[in-house]
Chain A
Amino acid sequence: MANKGYVDAKNKKVNRIDYATHLQLMLWKFRKNRMALIAVGVLGIFLIISLFAEFIAPYEPGTRNINYLQGPPIKVHLLDDKGNFHFNPFIYEMVKKRDPVTFRVSYTTDTSKQIPLRFFTRGETYKFWGLFKLNFHLFGVDGGFINLFGTDQLGRDLFSRIMYATRISLSVGAIGVFFVFILGLIMGGIAGYLGGMADEFIMRLMEFIRSIPTLPLWLALAAALPREWSSLKVYLAITIILASVGWTNLGRRVRSKLISIREEDFILSARLAGCSDTRIIVHHMLPSFMSYIIVDLTISFPYIILAETALSFLGLGLREPIVSWGVLLYSAQNIHSLAQIPWLLITGLFVVVAVLAFNFMGDGLRDAADPFAK
């Protein structure tokens, strides 16, 4: 990487760099990586979606529109068919047609009827964060319906469902990463700090977990969840399962960092000053390798999301009425529904973009974690 910009002698930053804090150095280095910055922007959008899913989605995830089953995505126009520009975006009304021979329903746009889009409009009532009853939506239409990504077999709006699914999938990732963090820190910490028998045992355990192929293990554990559990319980259980298999990387990292730091002089002086073990670990050791932990966690985020998606896709993970990306893809599983409703694959685009963004951000963070490397 040619990241020599900020140590350029002609640059004024050369003075700032002498007394910049570690964090500032890392920030500067991170900002050099354009892909990582874009990734942060994309993830910001995902975060906004998951925070305000109810507001952004025009419909509730379970609302059925029986007039528009398996309806294709509705396009938003600014130019009408005569080429006139409209300041307010609009959609054309969809007309249902039934083939007289095969009885198959198809939809065509009726270009004579324009329905303007309304922003910050009132629509379906929802409970924002499960607390406040609101009926404001980012956009909607008066009369008719708007399904940006089309509808599924039951006539549910795919766009709305993807918004809600984004919240669930990212939260599975976040909670999973949290458990990974706790488990990895505790196990790696014990192994690295105590050493000896405990170290040996935990290292063997990690090797053992790593030698079991992950997907079959997840499948087996997920299949062990009782069928009658509520979807919320299953949700928690799935995140714990994913984390309990995924903590080994972080555990390893924590252990090796602890072992290399353990012999440093500042730890010895802290011990001579009478610090307790906990204090040495939390106040002196952790800050010195926190950046590596954050990098590892960022990298493990997409793995957890992918794992959840795969499990739910197979019908062994989350289940309706909770919608995640995997649950949405579950209905695209067989080729017949896929051939008729190809827009169900739009969900996959969200998965790929989210994972890409996490990977790019992780790469940027990894480079920034060691600001003194070339």
Chain B
Amino acid sequence: MLYLITRRIAAALVTLFLISIVAFIIIQLPPGDFVDAYAGKKTQGGVIITQDELDVMRIRLGMDKPLYQQYLKWIGGVIRGDLGFSWEYHRPVVDVLGERLPLTLILAFATLAFTYMVAIPIGIYSAVRQYSIGDNIATILGYIGLATPGFLFALILMYLGQKWFGMSVGGLFSPEFEDAAWSWARFADMLSHLWVPVVVLGMAATAFQLRTMRATLLDELNKMYVTAARAGGVPEFNLLIKYPVRMALNPIVATLGWELSKIISGAAIIGIVLSLPTIGPLFYNALLNQDMYLAGALILIYCLLVVVGTFISDILLMILDPRIRLGGKG
């Protein structure tokens, strides 16, 4: 088990290293650089900037050096916990991320929890009472949930919120708590706002997991061991929970990392639509303004979250499924 875990960690580190290179290349891809974008903005504002000034700026930002040197400097800093400087915000990237990163994590894990808390019980119900009214409703809702893009759902909620309650469902805080320090009141306020993005984000994932749960559990329920256990007189509920459900949880846990990645992906666009104080809108602006250290750091963080998610799901699988735990080389 320990061997498996170390192997996973090593693989994750290699992946992260490769991602850092790709991230750096991607943020270098757009034609022109931050200095160009900056100059463009200033010129629009009526300020005249000479070529010399731009060159000085490039040298000061270290952009005159070859690409690999820039990369080495950047990644060296990242390892030491220095994510570089955001030119757009005139602050270190770490500061810019500040509160947004924890909020993004809270949102992602709340959504994950919501997804499983809704999908697993309903999935079990759907499988046990196949073709009942409840099952049919769940199936239809599942299909629709899977087909509706999250941002569309967010738009509809925003419209309905505006129309029926005359309130804005965007954001994570009420205006009076926007810049306040953390307190119980602020936390409670956040919880009262959190449900909208959680439901919006969790919809597609819930629909997907619900279908997986239902399908695998249906397969399991038809197997001989269930009949054998039933014939042996095991109470129906114990029988259900102890074996088939445990088996059916396997694919769900196995896709946890993947699900987390989808939720985080989705959070980027939902964050922009609902103007949440998460890293999504930050990333979007950083891309548009070619604020490359910020954008690069965010890509890295996105990937880190996914790698960690996959790692967690691997560990959970080992705990849940003795065949993987004892089977050796994974």
The interface of chain A, by Cβ under 8 A from chain B, is 207-208, 210-217, 219-221, 223-224, 226, 302, 306, 309-310, 313-314, 316, 329, 332-333, 335, 338-339, 342, 345, 348, 351-352, 355-356, 359-360
Q: Are B265 and A216 in contact (CB under 8 A)?
A: yes
Shortest CB-to-CB span from A203 to chain B, Å, is 12
Q: A352: which of B144, B264, B307 is its contact (CB, 8 Å)?
A: B144
Instruction: Check if B149 sits within 8 Å of A310, measured CB to CB.
Output: yes
Residues of B within 8 A of A (CB): 15, 18-19, 22, 26-27, 29-31, 143-144, 146-149, 151-152, 155-156, 158-159, 162-163, 168, 170, 258, 261-262, 264-266, 268-269, 272-273, 283-284, 287-288, 295, 298-299, 302-303, 305-307, 310
Min CB distance, B38 to chain A, in Å?
16
Q: Is the CB of B159 within 8 A of A338?
A: yes
Which residues of the partner chain A approach B302 to less than 8 Å between Cβ atoms?
212-213, 216
Q: Are A314 and B295 in contact (CB under 8 A)?
A: no
Given A223-B287, A335-B158, A338-B162, residue A310 in contact with residue B269 (CB < 8 A): yes
Q: Which residues of B contact A215 (CB under 8 A)?
A: 265-266, 268-269
- Known contacts A302-B147, A348-B155, A352-B147: does B306 contact A212 (CB below 8 Å)? yes
Across-interface contacts of B273 in A (CB, < 8 A): 333
Task: Tell me, in angstroms, the Cα distance from A348 to B146 when the chains sit together.
Answer: 14
Is the beta-carbon distance between A211 and B15 smaller than 8 angstroms? yes
Asked if A345 and B155 sit within 8 Å, CB to CB, the answer is yes
Alpha-carbon distance between A335 and B273 when the two chains are bound, in angstroms: 9
Task: Assess whether B147 is in contact with A224, with CB atoms less than 8 Å apart.
Answer: no
Smallest CB gap from B290: residue in A: A223
Pair B155/A314 contact, Cβ less than 8 Å: no
Given contacts A310-B149, A352-B147, contact A335 B162 (CB under 8 A): yes
Give CA–CA (A217, B26) in the complex, Å: 9
Q: How far is the CA of A157 from the CA of B18 in the complex (A)?
A: 48
Bound-complex Cα distance A215 to B267 (A): 9
Chain B residue nearest in CB terms to A344: B155
Chain A to chain B contacts (Cβ below 8 Å), 17 pairs: A208-B15, A211-B306, A211-B307, A212-B19, A213-B264, A213-B306, A220-B287, A310-B151, A313-B269, A333-B273, A335-B159, A339-B159, A339-B162, A342-B159, A351-B152, A352-B144, A356-B147
The 4 closest A-B pairs by CB, nearest first: A224-B29, A215-B265, A355-B147, A223-B287
On whether A221 and B261 interact (CB within 8 A), knowing A213-B303, A314-B269, A356-B144, the answer reads no
Known: A213-B264, A214-B262, A215-B268. 10 other contacts (CB 8 A): A208-B18, A212-B306, A215-B266, A216-B299, A219-B287, A220-B299, A223-B288, A329-B151, A333-B155, A335-B158
Contacts of B269 in A (CB 8 A): 215, 310, 313-314
> In whole angstroms, what is the CA distance A356 to B152 when docked?
14
Give the nearest-CB partner of B295 in chain A.
Answer: A220
In Å, the complex CA distance between A329 and B146 comes to 19
Q: Is the CB of A356 within 8 A of B170?
A: no
Please, which residues of chain A bring their CB within 8 A of the CB of B152? 329, 345, 348, 351-352
> When the two chains form their complex, are residues A339 and B163 in contact, meaning their CB atoms are under 8 A apart?
yes
CB distance from A14 to the nearest CB of B (A): 25
- Smallest CB separation, A359 vs chain B (Å): 6
The CA of A212 and the CA of B283, in the complex, are separated in Å by 15
Cα–Cα distance between A214 and B261 once the two chains are bound (Å): 8
Contact B19–A211 (Cβ < 8 Å) = yes
> Cβ of B268: which chain A residues have Cβ within 8 Å of it?
213, 215-216, 219
Given contacts A212-B22, A212-B306, A339-B159, contact A309 B149 (CB under 8 A): yes
Hey, which chain A residues are within 8 Å of B284, CB to CB?
A: 219, 314
Contacts of A216 in B (CB 8 A): 265, 268, 283, 298-299, 302
Contacts of A314 in B (CB 8 A): 269, 272, 284
Residues of B within 8 A of A352 (CB): 144, 147-148, 152
In angstroms, how far is the closest chain A Cβ from the Cβ of B123? 17
Instruction: Please indicate the chain B residues that have their CB under 8 angstroms from the CB of A348 in the complex.
Output: 148-149, 152, 155-156
Residues from chain B with a CB closer than 8 A to the CB of A226 are 30-31
A220, B262: Cα distance in complex, Å: 16
B307: A residues at CB distance < 8 A: 211
Closest B residue to A210 by CB, please name it: B258
How far apart sit A231 and B272, CA to CA, in the bound complex (Å)? 24
Measured between beta carbons, the chain B residues less than 8 angstroms from A219 are: 268, 283-284, 287
* In the complex, chain A residues whose CB is within 8 Å of the CB of B31: 226
Which residues of chain B are near A316, meaning CB under 8 Å? 287
Q: In the complex, A43→B287 CA distance in Å?
A: 36
CB contacts (< 8 Å) of A333 on chain B: these are 155, 273
A213-B265 CB under 8 A given contacts A208-B18, A309-B149, A338-B158: yes
CB distance from A1 to the nearest CB of B (A): 10
Q: Which residues of B have CB within 8 Å of A329?
A: 151-152, 155
Question: In the bound complex, how far is the Cα of B284 from the Cα of A219, in angstroms?
Answer: 8
Instruction: Tell me if A332 and B155 are in contact (CB < 8 A).
Output: yes
Task: Judge whether B156 and A345 touch: CB under 8 Å.
Answer: yes
Q: Is the CB of B144 within 8 A of A313?
A: no
Q: Are B299 and A224 in contact (CB under 8 A)?
A: no
A338 to B156, CA, bound (A): 9
A332, B273: Cα distance in complex, Å: 10
B310, A223: Cβ atoms under 8 Å?
no
Contact of A211 among B295, B299, B303 (CB under 8 A): B303
Shortest B179–chain A CB gap in Å is 22
Taking the closest CB of chain A, its distance from the CB of B273, in whole angstroms, is 7
Q: How far is the CB of B287 from chain A (nearest CB, A)?
A: 4
CA distance A332 to B156 in the complex (A): 10
The distance in angstroms between the C-alpha atoms of A210 and B303, with both chains bound, is 10
> Do A213 and B26 form a contact, CB below 8 Å, given A335-B158, A338-B155, A351-B149?
no
